[in-house]
Amino acid sequence: MDDRRGLTADPAVRIEVRALPIVPDLGALSAAADGDVVWLDSSLPPDAPEAAHARARWSVLALTDGPFAARFRHEGRRADVTVSPSSHRWFGPSRHDDTPAFAVLDDLLGRTPALPEPIAGCGFALGWVGFLGYELGRESGGVDRTADGHADADLRFTDRAVVVDAGGAAWALALVADTEPAASAANRAWLETVTSGRTSADVADVPPCLPAGGAATGRVTRAVYETAVDACRAEIRDGNAFQVCLTTAFGLVPADGLEARRGPGTDPHLSEYLRLRASDPVPFGAYLRLGPLRVASRSPERFLRIEATGAVSAEPIKGTRRRRADPGEDAAVRAELAASVKDRAENVMIVDLLRNDLLRTAVPGSVHVDRLCDVETYASVHQMVSTIGAVLPDGASRAAVVRAAFPPGSMTGAPKISAMAIADRLEGAPRGVYSGVIGYFSASGAVDLSVAIRTLVTVVDDAGSVRSRTFGAGGAVTWSSVAADEADEVETKTRSVLSGVGAVARW
């Protein structure tokens, strides 16, 4: 029985699995792929807290050019669904209309063949992978904006993937259907290729990318941002919000060499991502190559995880401190964060918001807080994390659950709709991928989505030349906020990624 919808899985459609003899280099496989890829990249430093290991156990490389592939993009308030011939029986013909994004997603998930999870403990059973951008919040009470220069959402139905367990095992997954013998044969042939290791045999070491160097220029000046912080405080004083997540963006001059066309087995943006991941392991890293988009995310934050059984968890982060080299100073910084009244207040406000968001779709009485304001230590930061859990009713729509909690409360403030309106008015520009979510909607009914923070977003043209590169950063403003301190926090949050590409924030 399929816990996702109460439907019986079709035995003629299944996942074939091959255990791989060695753990493959997912970076090399990403570089070798001819088509678009979504790499959900989990890693941790050796001394990471025990609680973090479960959320960072699995990495997934999803390939999007298999014979059963389908694509869903939402751009300019219009939906584009492109379906390969082998997938028509599930998803219907390709189409273009003005259906809202979450309605399209709900329809596509309802049509997706129900598949059991092939690897114990891992929720991924092929399915839809990609991102939902912040501006889709317009469909759940947010301001009516669209992203600038790229889609508001891009999800791909993947029928080929490689899954890696941090414990040292790996598998290749491929979809087969008895009604589509040619497509199934192609996927079986791909499985044999991956198992033999031939997919990466001809791939040279990923070349180092040249750092951007110079400045990442702020969309606004520091003085303007500090004025906006005080405007948020005025809104809070007047009772229009309790907390406002105020953000801005920095534009990067294209790096030398990144304008070059992508050749066989090379991807300069991927090379750049590999530099970032080497210096800062995180549980929810991601690299996306989707059409004109290149997304390099070093996120430490989970938005939502939904298990196939209907159990839900959210893990918002509010409160971050940069680590110190001296052990004594570092311990003092951690203790200061744990005791900070301001940071605890920010975190509790978002916990309350998420409890309300989950209650909209969860079984009444099932919403609970598993931990509150726990401090976790990572390679470069200490951060304050809480965990909220709930249980969904049988057959609950995964798209409806995500929509009810979207955008992530840690990136909006509280109350959500009022805080979003205040932030939008003061920011005056869309956020795009930043502040949205990245991850998967599995064919098993499982969902795992990270918050797109510490994320570099690049848009290229048809020739591969860079059109724009942006990095978003911000923080939660409360009545006790000091404008200069909030601006300092923005600068701190830029360092983990911008330093990795040789850039420094200037505003």
Catalytic residue list: 301, 318
Name the token pair of 155: 């999800």
CA atoms within 13 A on the CB side of 385: 19
Go through 199-221 and write b for each residue having 16 or more CB atoms within 10 A of its CB, e for each that does not.
Answer: bbeebeebeebebbeebbebbbe
Q: Which of 32, 38, 81 is nearest to 63 (CA)?
A: 38
Q: Which of 264, 206, 160 is nearest to 25 (CA)?
A: 206
Please name the helix (run of DSSP H) or strand (run of DSSP E) that holds residue 449, with its range, or none: strand 447-451
Spell out the residues 6+ positions from residue 471 whose beta carbon is closer than 8 angstroms to its own. 216, 249, 250, 252, 434, 455, 456, 457, 494, 497, 498
| Contact criterion met (CB below 8 Å) for 385 and 374 | yes
Name the token pair of 132: 């939902």
Go through 312-337 and write b for each residue having 16 or more CB atoms within 10 A of its CB, e for each that does not.
Answer: bbbbbbbbbbeeeeeeeebeebbeeb
Which DSSP string corresponds to 264-302? TT--HHHHHHHHHHHH---TEEEEEEETTEEEEEEE--E
C-alpha 69/C-alpha 159 separation (Å) is 6
- By residue count, the chain amounts to 507
Handedness of CA 136, 137, 140, 141 (dihedral sign): negative
Name the token pair of 506: 């200037």
Pairing of strands 215-218, 504-506: parallel
By three-state DSSP, how is residue 15 classified?
strand
As a whole number of angstroms, the longest Cα–Cα distance in the chain is: 65
